[in-house]
Structure 1
Amino acid sequence: MTGFIAVLRGKRLAFVHGFALAVGLALALSATVPSSAQETVPSTGTITMDGRGTVTVAPDMAVITTNVATTGKTAADALSENSAAIAKVIDAIKGAGIEAKDIQTRGFGIYPRYERITDGSNRQPNITGYEVRNGVEVNIRDIAKLGDILSLVVDSGANSVDGIRFDVSDPAEKLDEARKKAVEAARHKAEIFASAAGVELGEIVSITETGTQVPRPQMMRASAMMAASPESVPIEAGEETIGANVTIMWALK
């Protein structure tokens, strides 16, 4: 009996010792877990604002497209006459100091001309002749020459000017300036809203460019060109607007 009691006491001591060891190990492991993993970090709010920046700049070059249209009984006749006429126009443009690299053919085509049917029949109309159109696009890098060249192309045989486009030869620098202004505008609005709400702007979460604005073509009617006097055509280039739009999201502190 005494031996049996001794065995039971031995098992109880072993159980107590094992339990204490397990509890101690669990406490040790819990002490090594970072406090950040045991706590829930509250999420921060965000604020998103759009901004637009613009820069005005005077164009320093112009692009015109001028054309010659001729007609003839045959396609060969119309083409021959047109080729001679457009060659005269190109020679005049080069004589004004425009380099060959700034002159490029545009809109060449040969088109049949049909009779007008007035008897009410359904027959196919006959070809009465041909029209040939040929034009050149001219880059004028000295904008002060634009008025003189417009008069010159008309005087040399061009019978239409499809349009004038004023350009900035190197708009990249101005566009970057507009982008900076767009970011400043977005931040300015965000700071106003944040101050009114009693919070502060934190780190930027995202920046997205949502659009840019570059100079657009300005068209001139051919009839206005044909009515021009032999003197230089008066031209006002005005100013062009280069712009950028941006959307920025901030975290709130």
Structure 2
Amino acid sequence: MQMVERPWGIATFGAASVKAMPDLVRVRFKIVRIEQSPAGAFAETRGAVRAVRAALREHGVADGDVQSSRLDLKTATEYVDGTNRPVGYRCQAAFAVESGNLDDVEPLLVDVVAAGANELEAVDFDVTTKRELRAAARRRAVAAARGKAELYAQEAGVRLGAVLHVEDVDSDSPYTQRYRSHSASSVDALEADLAPGHIIVSAAVIVGYAFARD
């Protein structure tokens, strides 16, 4: 039988999620060229970089919203008959682009590829108000924890006292997933999970309360 060695009050777990339509897209891609000489690889890659930057400007993407790496050169090999054989020189440039024009994502990708990008790595949607959404989720999580504690106290015939402990919990941790179904906000969380096209921002907390002394 499990015993509580040091009873001190009530501790409850609360979790909540809020959803919002994305207003920002981040695109990551690379330009990769393999040529027989380092000079040829550099030249081909630089030409593609200029073309890609021109395509981005045509779509209204400011230079400050484009991050690109320096040109990287490596020996290119291919696996033939159990050995890696040199086939030339591989030069690449990596790009990370942000845009607030979500309706232009498909044409942007089409034109970037046409300009010379040949490795698309990711297209991620996000919101610029994530800090505010996280704060809202945290407030809801605290309210969920308190509501649960008040219910337990009422049914146990005691009153809640002062808050003794507040612990922020990583909303993506296994701990949160394990206890999520027990949260007072689990219905809201489930609805958020089933919201296609939305950005979901979650928060979780453990709150400990003392018993009120009459």
Q: Same fold (TM over 0.5)?
A: yes
> Residues 116 and 197 (structure 1 numbering): CA distance in 2 closer, same or farther, change over 3 Å?
closer
Higher-strand-fraction structure: 2
Indicate the residue corresponding to 1:161 in structure 2: 120
Where in structure 2 are there 5+ consecutive unaligned residues? 1-5, 173-195
> Residues 187 and 126 (structure 1 numbering): CA distance in 2 closer, same or farther, change over 3 Å?
closer
Q: 2:152 aligns with which of 167, 172, 193?
A: 193
TM score, norm. by length of structure 2:
0.79
> Residues 80 and 250 (structure 1 numbering): CA distance in 2 closer, same or farther, change over 3 Å?
same
Q: 1:86 aligns with which of 49, 60, 63?
A: 49
User: Any idea what the Cα deviations from partners look like across 1:53-104, whole Å, max 9, x if unmatched?
Assistant: 2101111000001211111111111111111012101111111100000011
Indicate the residue corresponding to 1:110 in structure 2: 73
User: Any idea what the Cα deviations from partners look like across 1:128-158, whole Å, max 9, x if unmatched?
Assistant: 3111111211101222221221111112221
TM score, norm. by length of structure 1:
0.67
Indicate the residue corresponding to 1:223 in structure 2: none
5 Å matches for 1:115-130? 116=79, 118=81, 127-130=86-89
- Residues in 1 aligned to 2:157 and 2:79: alpha-carbon distance in whole angstroms: 78
- Size of the alignment, in residue pairs? 184
* Cα shift at 1:212: 4.2
* Cα shift at 1:115: 6.0
Q: Please say if 1:146 is aligned against 2:105.
A: yes
Indicate the residue corresponding to 2:11 in structure 1: 48
- Residues in 2 aligned to 1:178 and 1:115: alpha-carbon distance in whole angstroms: 50
* Cα shift at 1:45: 3.5
CA root-mean-square deviation:
2.2
Q: Please say if 1:246 is aligned against 2:209.
A: no
Indicate the residue corresponding to 2:3 in structure 1: none
Bigger RCO (CA 8 Å, 6+ sep): 2
* Cα shift at 1:241: 0.8
> In the alignment, is the contact (CA less than 8 A) between 1:51 and 1:186 conserved in 2?
yes
Q: Secondary structure at the match of 1:187?
A: helix
| Percentage of pairs with the same residue | 27
Q: Please say if 1:137 is aligned against 2:137.
A: no
Q: 2:29 aligns with which of 46, 60, 66?
A: 66
> In the alignment, is the contact (CA less than 8 A) between 1:66 and 1:153 conserved in 2?
no
